[in-house]
Amino acid sequence: MNHTHLLHRAGSAALLLSLGACQTPGASSGMTPGAGLPTTSQQVMVGAGDIASCESDRDEATAAMLDGIDGTVFTLGDNAYPDGSAEDFERCYAPSWGRHKQRTHPTPGNHEYHSARARPYFEYFGAAAGEPGKGYYSYDLGGWHVVALNSELSKRGLAEQERWLREDLKAHPARCTLAYMHRPLFSSGLGRDNAVVKGIWEALYEAGADVVLAGHDHFYERFAPQTPEGVADAERGLREFVVGTGGKELYVFGPTLANSEVRLAGTFGLMKLTLEDGAYSWEFIQVGGDVRDQGRGACH
């Protein structure tokens, strides 16, 4: 156990409230946010990506937020820095987000693959991480079908995953579908090219999926519904959220991509989604409790 790390966490949690929350002006969602506690017909998902490092206690601050939010926890990859090793998971991830391991549905990131075949990731999360070596799976929440994907596979592995995804979506023709993975197809980050996930996007778009969550870039960004080609599509487009705000140091933005509606830099926090029959609402909640982005959408 890294006692220095834990003492540093306990001694500086309050300082996180003063971290700058630099917002690049973005278009308002123009929608009414969800309110109150979830009803029996609602399901809550909460999480982020790019999470735990023993070099800071910022993941402890976001884990403390999880302590107060019921529901399914998701991770968007890069769970344990720097290398996704067994030691990284036990010393850095387990004391914070690991408190919620029993309700977590994870995905791996590129840092998990700094360790051979991401074995420590699969060993730490067990069956919840999906089949070892693959790391993709699906589950249902209320009337929603949820798909957890692995953006870090080889070219062959990505092709096999895409075939599996198309079959899975065909077998689960839910009105509302959400997918999440580590790499975003669209991001206003600097120097990122994540075209490897375009096939995933094409399968989701063709099946009429609604929402995609990703991490990898350490900031918060929301896009308007769009096609895999980046064309705005209010009728059938996928709405993407980039939520790389789980605790690892944050990034700055590069040039703004088309269809980007909200961009928040300098802000650690969580995405909370409330899934309903035929609709969903979102809140990006920063450390300290302020809601920095919120809105509501309907399924296709």
**CATH number of the structural domain spanning residue 135:** 3.60.21.10
Residue 125 is assigned to a structural domain of this protein: yes
Strands 260-265 and 22-24: antiparallel
- Give a yes or no: residue 25 inside a domain: no
pLDDT tens for each residue of 177-235 = 999 999 999 999 987 778 999 999 999 999 999 999 999 999 999 999 999 999 999 99
Beta carbons of 107 and 76 less than 8 angstroms apart: yes
- Give me the number of domains the chain comprises: 1
pLDDT of the residue at 216: 97
2 lies in some domain: no
Whether residue 260 is contained in a domain is answered as yes
Within a domain: residue 164?
Answer: yes
Nearest CA-CA partner of 219 in 268, 289, 272, 283: 268
In a domain, 150, yes or no: yes
In a domain, 97, yes or no: yes
List phi, psi (to 5°) of 137. -170, 175
**Using an 8 Å Cβ cutoff, are 121 and 152 in contact?**
no
Report yes or no on 9 lying in a domain: no
pLDDT tens track for 81-130: 999 999 999 999 999 999 999 999 999 999 999 999 999 999 999 999 99
Q: Domain range holding 48? A: 40-298
* 212 touches 241 (CB < 8 A): yes
- Predicted pLDDT of residue 14: 35
